[in-house]
Structure 1
């Protein structure tokens, strides 16, 4: 049995239209300016201590800077256990840096960026510490205007960060 030509043509037309619609709907232009981010986060936030830090073998303290939709984080780590060469760990104290873009949906803060050098240039040499993509998700609880609690999805110790400097977002072109 042979399929009529008109049926083959309409099936081809339908398939072509379907592929065209899928391609067009999956693409969009990225904005040519940064987005304003969350107004309550704009500024620098410091974690001063960790509950029970004297009893912990390893812990980290965070310093966040949010500018529009960008973030910069320094992570100061402290350890009583020697994880590597002392030239890297400096007697159990070291700092790592990250930068990137953040987004908040409902109560979840999504940070995605790269590990960086001290001057926030992209880190290319692994050296002693982590390199490549930094991705972290936090549940955010705003305690006061100058205190937020960030609960990591990968850790058990919440980060209580206090505002040390407020700034406002001045949107810049990308």
Structure 2
């Protein structure tokens, strides 16, 4: 017959072992990402841009589970202070991680400076960069996306292959 202390010790040990066996430690390296995205993709042209008040061209670099994007915006309308408007052409940058779920590409990151270091103030946008795209089609040469917030099409051309080399976090 076992006393109360022995029973509590046995229950504690059993629960502790059960907890340890049910948990698994995540690897301390970045994820592999999606093979079909790995590389540099440029939006070389935009259809009907002459009729638009503003538009943005994208250049994406996907490496492992990370993305880097250069955004060049052209605008006929001044949304910013005169010092920032730059005659209707300006550049923005963002980086972060991405996930693909079903047909949706989710980009979760931050606006950055041109060197991809954190941007906390200045002209244009800063803070979080959260964009979702529908992957409309893909092949080895082209990637066609639709921005789910404004339904604009982003047709990207493949420029350069990047092989994922996972880095420590």
- TM-score, scaled relative to structure 1: 0.81
Shift of the alpha carbon at 1:50?
A: 1.5
Question: Residue deviations 1:102-138, cap 9 Å, x none?
Answer: 01111111100001000000112x2111111110111
Q: Distance in 2 between matches of 1:151 and 1:52?
A: 16
**How many aligned residue pairs are there?**
150
**SS at 2:50's partner residue?**
coil
1:42-61 matches, within 5 Å, as 42-61=38-57
Over 3 Å counting, the alpha-carbon distance change for 1:169 and 1:92 in structure 2 is same
Any conservation in 2 of the 1:47–1:63 contact (CA below 8 Å)?
Answer: yes
Any conservation in 2 of the 1:50–1:157 contact (CA below 8 Å)?
Answer: no
**SS at 1:35's partner residue?**
coil
Question: Residue deviations 1:115-164, cap 9 Å, x none?
Answer: 1000000112x211111111011111334211011111112221000011
Q: Is 1:173 the equivalent of 2:168?
A: yes
Over 3 Å counting, the alpha-carbon distance change for 1:93 and 1:28 in structure 2 is farther
Structure 1: give runs of 5+ residues left out of the alignment: 1-23
**SS at 1:90's partner residue?**
helix
Paired position in structure 2 for 1:104: 100
- TM-score, scaled relative to structure 2: 0.83
Structure 2: give runs of 5+ residues left out of the alignment: 1-19
1:164 corresponds, among 144, 159, 164, to: 159
Q: Distance in 1 between matches of 2:57 and 2:163?
A: 24
1:8-27 matches, within 5 Å, as none
